[in-house]
Structure 1
Amino acid sequence: MNLKQLSETLGLSQTTVSRALNGYPEVKEETRERVQAAAAKHGYRPNSWAKGLATGRSMVIGHVIPSSSQHEMVNPIFGDFVAGAAKTYADHGYDMMFSNAEDTSIEKAYRNLFQRGAVDGVVLQGPKVNEPRIDVLTRMGVPFIVHGRSTGVTSPYDWIDVNNKRSFQRATQFLIDLGHRRISLINGLEDMDFAKRRRDGYLAALKEAGLEPIPSLMRSAEMTEVYGHHETRGMLQLDHPPTAILCSSMISAVGVRRALDEAGLRMGQDVSVIAHDDDLSYLKNGQDVPIFTATRSSVRMAGELAAEMLINRIQAPCEPVMTQLLEAELVVGRSTGPAPN
């Protein structure tokens, strides 16, 4: 069924039906409910092109991928976030567009997208501690949302983030309560804001317990399986190796587990391990009982919420700044236990 047929069925003009489906405030609530019910009954859904004509919008959300971050496209964390966002976009009649840009021409890429009307808003992912893209988009005065935060940016902007500092402070405290004193941190790249906050939480828990941080047990790099394996293997060769390891990613934690297996060590008995982001569609943390103790935060849900917030911003550009801080759940699995004697 098309718009004309739906309008004839309802005995209303195509303009009224279109406005009712697209949320225009001048349409009476009774009429809106009647139109929506009929659309659902007859399986009518406006396509993005037609809806764009009715609203004067492109009905497209943009994701600009810097050239230095293209590898993130195959990261299951990125995939889960995009899958969640895509669901919300579809629910609201929006399409999604990916665009690539050289790191030196990010501002040009954003301006080009908005000036030619290709997108109505953009999602900014992976912010750094000092993120220049936020200032660029703020100056442009366009709708955007940040998945994460940037410590160095003081101007207000819309964001959604997990409480990384609190998550890692709690995880470190959990290990301390188990008697561990030599706790390693295998972190992400620490020019990224999430990694800085996770290190801050780790250090805060050590300080609260009266423990001095041990530089040789703190590592930072891109969160791959190979990285987790390499760093763990190196630390196990220290004169005083860690009895517990805190990982910034489930992906790195898989590498940690491989290194422990190769060394003949039992995870959860000889060395305890805590991972982050264990709620991934294609990298599940076991079945009934979690393999890893983990700080759980659904990236897919974050994508859904971020998309909802961005669409609200597009529809109400003058509303106050919107922010949402999500708390991670500490899930106890088989990878942690009391510190060995």
Structure 2
Amino acid sequence: MNLKQLSEKLGLSPTTVSRALNGYPEVSEATRRRILAAAKEHNYSPSSQAKSLATGRAMTIGHVIPTSSTTEMVNPIFGDFIAGAGETYAAAGYDMILSNVHIEKELDAYRDLAARKAVDGVIVHAPRLEDPRIELLREVRLPFVFHGRAPIEDSDYSWLDINNARAFERATKLLIDLGHRDIALINGDEHMDFAIRRRRGFEAALSDAAVPARPDLMVSDEMTETFGYASACRMLTLPKPPTAFLVSSIIVAIGVRRAIAQHGLQMGRDISVVTHDDEISYLRNGASEPVFTATRSSVRDAGRRTAELLLAQIANPNAAPAQELWECDLTLGSSTGPCPTAQ
């Protein structure tokens, strides 16, 4: 049954039926109850097109995915975030557009979405240094929420982030407490805000403990298994190799574990590893017990909540910016132990 047929059965105009189903206050409560009961009886739910006509909205949320020869946003972490956000959109009757564009065309993509009124708002991914997207989205009046924070003082925008600096400070202190002093940081791309904050937390913990930071034990790049493997292999052949690794993703940590095994060492006994775990759905950190000691925060939960913040902003555009900072859990696994050289 479509909207027209339901309207004819009720003897009401399609506009009245549509506005009742979409919660508009102009419809009396008695009429609304009658319409909702008929919709339930006939298994009718309004299409996104019908909702768009009734609300004047596109009923669609946008995600612009920038790519380049060195950067690839489409990864398992992003996939879990999108899955969580998609659950929220579906429950609210929204569709989703994913626009995969070269990073040099990213700003044009946002302008195009706004000009065509193709979306009601966007979630912005991977905040970076001197991020131009905040000013652009304000200029084109497109509601937005950042997943993460841009490293600027201006706080007049909505975001959801984890406390990256605090998480990596705690993780580094744990390794220091275990006697480690030669600690390697295998970080994400340090053009990105999350990686900048993680390095700050790492270096703060070293400074507090009067442990010298070693530049030869710090690298950053796209978070892939091969990056973790190659970085760990190089470091393990240094004249003074690390006794512990702090890693920005469980994907990278798997590569580090491969390098440790290839060098005839045992993770958790000879070499300790702490990673960040986004609790990726199909890449679990062990079953009953964690494999990796990890700072943990569900990226799928972050997707759900970031979508909720954006939909609330669309519904109430005059509300103050919403900002949420989530603390990470620190979970002990079998990948850490006392520093062998300190025993």
The range that moved more, 210-219 or 241-250, is: 210-219
The amino acid of 2:181's aligned partner reads R
Scaled by the length of structure 2, what TM-score is found? 0.92
Q: Which residue of 1 aligns with 2:279?
A: 279
The range that moved more, 163-172 or 21-30, is: 21-30
Residues 230, 259 of structure 1: 8 Å contact kept:
yes
Q: Which residue of 2 aligns with 1:237?
A: 237
Matched, 1:86 2:86: yes
Q: Which residue of 2 aligns with 1:118?
A: 118
Matches within 5 A, 1:87-102: 87-102=87-102
The amino acid of 2:287's aligned partner reads Q
Cα displacement string for residues 72-130 of structure 1 (whole angstroms, at most 9, x for unaligned residues):
35410010011111111111111111123333333322121111121111111011122
Matches within 5 A, 1:20-99: 20-27=20-27, 36=36, 39=39, 42-68=42-68, 72=72, 74-99=74-99
Query: How far is 1:284 from its partner?
Result: 1.1
Cα displacement string for residues 151-206 of structure 1 (whole angstroms, at most 9, x for unaligned residues):
13625111111111111111111111222111111001111100000001111111
Query: How far is 1:12 from its partner?
Result: 5.9
The amino acid of 2:289's aligned partner reads V
Matches within 5 A, 1:217-228: 217-228=217-228
The range that moved more, 272-281 or 39-48, is: 39-48
* CA pair 100-264 structure 1, distance change in 2 beyond 3 A: same
Query: How far is 1:278 from its partner?
Result: 4.2
Query: How far is 1:14 from its partner?
Result: 3.9
Matches within 5 A, 1:152-167: 152=152, 154=154, 156-167=156-167
Residues 183, 245 of structure 1: 8 Å contact kept:
yes
Matches within 5 A, 1:66-215: 66-68=66-68, 72=72, 74-152=74-152, 154=154, 156-215=156-215
Describe the SS at the equivalent of 1:88.
Answer: helix
Q: How many aligned positions are there? A: 341
The amino acid of 1:148's aligned partner reads G
Scaled by the length of structure 1, what TM-score is found? 0.93
Query: How far is 1:36 from its partner?
Result: 5.0
Distance 2:106 2:126 in 1: 14
Q: Which residue of 1 aligns with 2:332?
A: 332
* CA pair 92-70 structure 1, distance change in 2 beyond 3 A: farther
Distance 2:69 2:95 in 1: 22
* CA pair 44-153 structure 1, distance change in 2 beyond 3 A: farther
RMSD: 2.2
The amino acid of 2:240's aligned partner reads H
Is there any run of 5+ residues in structure 2 with no aligned partner, and where? none
* CA pair 35-250 structure 1, distance change in 2 beyond 3 A: farther
The amino acid of 1:65's aligned partner reads I
